[in-house]
Amino acid sequence: MLLIQNNSSSESFARDEKAYKKFSKDVKRIIKEILKKEERRQKEEEKESK
């Protein structure tokens, strides 16, 4: 969870939370892409080794 030092206004918190959600969504997307590439690479290696 995010630690927000300046939580004097709920607007600031909401903005930070929105940015955090977008960031974590991007991170998840990037991880998925990396896993897909790795999976493809492994399949290619299996084909070549046969």
pLDDT digits (tens, 9 = 90+) for 1-50: 556 555 566 777 778 888 999 999 999 999 999 999 999 999 999 988 87
Residue 20 token pair: 């955090």
pTM greater than the 0.85 cutoff: no
Amino acid at residue number 32: K
CA atoms within 13 A on the CB side of 14: 3
Amino acid at residue number 36: K
With a CB cutoff of 8 Å and minimum separation 6, the contacts of 27 are none
Residue 28 token pair: 């998840």
Give the three-class secondary structure for 41: helix
